[in-house]
Amino acid sequence: MLSEYPHLPRFKLFQDMPEKDVQEIIEFCRDVTFAKNQFIYLMGAQANAIFLLKIGRVKISMLNEGGKEKIIDIMHPGDSFGEFSVEHGHCHVTEAIALDNVIVCKLDRNVVINLLRQKPQFALNFIKHLNERLIEALSEIEELCYESASKRLARILLKLAQKYGKPNGEHIKFIVKISHEQLAEMAGANRPYISSLISEFKKDGVISYDARHLIINRTRLQDYL
């Protein structure tokens, strides 16, 4: 049965788990399809599941009181989301929207709670995963408060390259496409300004493009930090 869900072991939540435990989890997995631009969940909605992304991209974002969007992350196949609020059954503090036609594996809250109680490795992975997300969030708050937009952009590009890049010496080629608008929302700046910074980075040889895929010079980009 594991052959029907070969993607599961690559998710961080299932790393180092015995195959028999993964087999048990598969019984509770439900594949759900969302069309492009369809909401997977909204801010304020009851958190009743976590989602494992199999196909497509998903944008995780927040809205302030004025309705301005701040992108938290762009999820790609192999990523999971929705974990922050599901443990206590709280409402979602972010919203998730499909950027493509996507397929997610959905694990309901009661299943997750039972796994946390009965599967020590899953519980450890879950805690480690939340801790990583918390550290990222605290780091982002510090960056927004104290760093320039160029430094924030450089840090975001390095972070994304680590997750979605293919290294080749000092260069890293993104295997996913990231738009200027998405980078602007992640950096907390307006799009024209971020586009101007990207133009400066290109002029300085810090970044380049190959068939619309971004390539960064890791060493040169780190000089901005």
For the chain, 225 residues long, give each residue's pLDDT as a single digit of tens. Answer: 445 555 666 788 888 888 888 888 888 888 999 999 999 999 888 888 999 999 999 999 987 766 778 888 889 888 899 887 666 667 888 899 999 999 999 999 889 989 999 999 999 999 998 888 888 777 777 766 667 888 889 988 998 898 888 898 889 999 888 888 888 888 878 889 999 999 999 998 899 988 778 999 998 888 887
Q: Are residues 32 and 91 in the same domain?
A: yes
Q: Are residues 158 and 115 in the same domain?
A: no
Domain that holds residue 47: 2-145
Strands (E), the chain: 30-34, 39-41, 49-55, 58-63, 69-75, 80-81, 95-98, 102-108, 165-168, 171-174, 207-210, 213-217
Q: Are residues 153 and 101 in the same domain?
A: no
Q: What is the pLDDT of residue 121?
A: 93
Q: Are residues 132 and 164 in the same domain?
A: no
Q: Are residues 133 and 156 in the same domain?
A: no
pTM over 0.75: no
Angle between helices 120-146 and 109-118 (to 10 degrees): 110
Q: What is the pLDDT of residue 5?
A: 56
Q: What is the pLDDT of residue 9?
A: 61
Q: Out of 115, 145, 175, pick the residue that ends a domain.
A: 145
Q: Out of 130, 145, 160, pick the residue that ends a domain.
A: 145
Q: Are residues 70 and 83 in the same domain?
A: yes
Q: Are residues 75 and 176 in the same domain?
A: no
Q: What is the pLDDT of residue 86?
A: 67
Q: Are residues 12 and 91 in the same domain?
A: yes
Q: Are residues 43 and 112 in the same domain?
A: yes
In this structure, what CATH number is given to the domain that contains residue 63?
2.60.120.10
Q: What is the pLDDT of residue 35?
A: 97
Q: Are residues 115 and 47 in the same domain?
A: yes
In this structure, what CATH number is given to the domain that contains residue 189?
1.10.10.10
Q: Out of 145, 162, 182, pick the residue that ends a domain.
A: 145
Instruction: List, as one string, the DSSP characters of 62-119.
Output: EE-TT--EEEEEEE-TT-EE-HHHHTTT-B-SSEEEESSSEEEEEEEHHHHHHHHHH-
Q: Are residues 123 and 171 in the same domain?
A: no
Q: Do 100 and 38 form a contact (C-beta atoms < 8 A)? A: no
Q: Are residues 152 and 138 in the same domain?
A: no
Could you give the number of structural domains in the chain? 2
